[in-house]
Amino acid sequence: MEFSAQNLACRRGDAVVLSEVTFAVSQGEALILRGPNGSGKTTLLRCLAGLTPAVSGSLSFSPDDVAYAAHADGLKAQLTVAETLRFWAQVFGTRRIEAALDAFDLRGLMERRTQTLSAGQKRRLSLARLILTGRTLWALDEPTVSLDTSAVAQFAAAVRTHLAGGGAAIIATHIDLGLRDAATLDIGQFRATQSVAHDPFLDEALS
């Protein structure tokens, strides 16, 4: 299966920020999104995850194939690591929290409340959630923020395992994850142009 986008246009707030986004990722492949801050990486990922409906264009997959990991960790300070993972496993109807614990080396932290974790540990916990979703396409927004070198390696290994298992990933990141033959997509080239950012209130001004 191939995950592709054709001439996708995405909006953020009232403005269309991306247009003509076209890419394809096959199973077993990763796509790295690059681009300066504010170029629309988050906007694109939210669009792929189905949070923001696309203005135009088409996707070859449904949002139900996508596991989205946002900038925010989405963790509750009062829950323990095991409770957090069990909760998401139940929501996604999977039972494999052991795999997630092992992939991010969280076994020793199982009974700790999230509020006592360091920023990097929280990040690892929130990434471990991805394994529980059981979904094919990972859409990750700056996943390596506050991770140290060894944790980045863990994360890269988890991504490789996911790819080897027939998954795919679209990752917005600035660091080199050491993923061999990962394609790179520069988001800057898709910045919406005026003609595409059709605004009904500019009709008269344009004519």
Partner 1 sequence: MIALLRRDLALAIRAGGGFGLGLAFFLILCILVPFGVGPDSGTLAKIAPGILWVGALLACLLSLDRIFQLDFEDGTLDLLATAPLPLEAVATTKALAHWITTGLPLTLAAAPLGQLLNLPAAAMPALVLGLALGTPALSVIGTFGAALTVGLKRGGLLISLLVLPLYMPTLLFGADAARRGAEGLETTTPLLLMTGISAASLALLPFATAAALRMNLR
Partner 2 sequence: MSIWKYANPTQFMRTSAWLLPGLSVLAALCVATGLVWGFFFTPDDFRQGSTVKIIYLHVPSALMAINAWLMMLVASLIWLIRRHHVSALAAKAAAPVGLVMTVIALATGAIWGEPMWGTYWAWDPRLTSFLILFLFYLGYIALWQAIETQDTAADLTSVLCLVGSVFALLSRYAVNFWNQGLHQGTSVPVATGERSVADVFFVPLVFSMVGFGLLFVALVLLRTRTEIRSRRLHALLARERAADTRVAPNTPPSESPTS
User: Is 174 one of the binding residues for partner 2 (CB under 8 A)?
Assistant: yes
Query: What's the min distance (Å) between Cβ of 125 and partner 2?
Result: 28
57 binds partner 1 (CB under 8 A): no
Q: Is 157 exposed, middle or buried (0-12, 13-18, 19+ CB in 10 A)?
A: middle
- Which two structure tokens, joined as six digits, stand for 15? 């403005």
Burial 1-22 (b: 16+ CB within 10 A, else e): eebebeebbbbbeeebbbbbbe
Q: Which is nearer to partner 2, 78 or 207 (CB)?
A: 207
Phi/psi class of residue 146: alpha, beta or left (left: φ > 0; alpha: ψ in -120 to 50)?
left
Under rule CB under 8 A, residue 51 binds partner 1: yes
The mark string for 24-63 relative to partner 2 (x by CB under 8 A, - otherwise) is ----------xxx--x------------------------
Measured in Å, how far apart are the chain's first and last C-alpha atoms?
45
Q: Which of 13, 53, 93, 108 binds partner 2 (CB under 8 A)?
A: 13
Q: Which residues bind partner 2 (CB under 8 A)?
A: 13-15, 34-36, 39, 174, 183-186, 188, 191-192, 194, 197, 199-205, 207
